[in-house]
Amino acid sequence: MAVVAKVSSKGQVVIPAEYRKKLRITRLVVISEEGGRLVVEPTASLEDAFGVDGGRMTEVAREISMDRRAEVESQRT
């Protein structure tokens, strides 16, 4: 089934609820271009990917990001 979706002035498109439910899309999707077409694919959150330890993985990723940001900032001075 195909649907026509409107693109907002900000470039936003709403994915119809039936597709979100069927593909279990909650927050994140990967958008790529293949042969002149946009491909939208669901992606798993860290919580989904790592199960019970997903919350901890999110914290680790945040810590790594903050450390890297501090490292970049220290190199600027």
Cα 49 to Cα 3, 56, 63, 64, 72, distances in angstroms: 30, 12, 18, 18, 29
pLDDT average, residue stretch 8-22: 94
Q: What is the pLDDT of residue 76?
A: 81
**pLDDT tens for each residue of 18-63:** 999 998 888 889 999 999 999 999 887 666 667 766 677 778 888 9
Q: What is the pLDDT of residue 2?
A: 85
Under the banding of pLDDT at 50, 70 and 90, the label for residue 17 is very high
Neighbours of 2 (CB within 10 A): 4
Instruction: Output the pTM of the full model.
Output: 0.52
First to last CA, the chain: 56
